[in-house]
Amino acid sequence: MESGSFIVPGGEPRYYFASDNLQSDEYKGLCPDDLVDIAVENNLHFHGTIQQGVVFHLIGALSEFGKLGVVCIGDSPASSKTFYEQTKVALAASNTQYRESGFRQ
C-alpha cells in the first residue's frame, strides 16, 4: 500500500510546506544569484545530507515581479512552516539592505 509519505534513506519522515506564489514588492530587484546567497547566508538552502531546507523554483519572475515558488522541507510540519516564514523574513530583510546600501536601484 502506498502512503504518499516521504521517507529519507535513514527511515525518518520529511514534511513540506510549499507555495508557487510567494510574492512581495520587497523582493523586486533580487536576482537568482542573490537568492542563492540569501539562502546560504541564512542557512535556508536544502541540505542533502540531512534532507531539510528550502528548494526554490519559478525564480524567473523574482527580479521583475517579486515572485517565486518555494518548497520547504523539514523533519516536522512545524519545521517546514518555520523554513517558509524564515525565508520570507530573509528575503525582505536582504532586499531592504540592498536598497539602503545603494547596491540595487
Q: What is the pLDDT of residues 86-100, one digit of tens each?
A: 999 999 998 766 555
Whole-angstrom distance, CA of residue 44 vs CA of residue 82: 10
State whether residue 93 is helix, strand or coil.
Answer: helix
Q: Is 27 exposed, middle or buried (0-12, 13-18, 19+ CB in 10 A)?
A: buried
pLDDT by residue for the chain (105 residues), tens only, comes to 466 678 998 899 999 999 999 999 999 989 999 999 999 999 999 999 999 999 999 999 999 999 999 999 999 999 999 999 999 999 999 876 655 555 544
Q: What pTM does this model have?
A: 0.85
Please choose, from the candidates 71, 72, 59, 9, the residue with its C-alpha nearest in 3D space to the C-alpha of residue 32.
Answer: 59
Q: At what angle do helices 77-101 and 32-41 cross, to 10 degrees?
A: 120
Q: Can you give the residue ranges of every domain in the chain?
A: 19-99
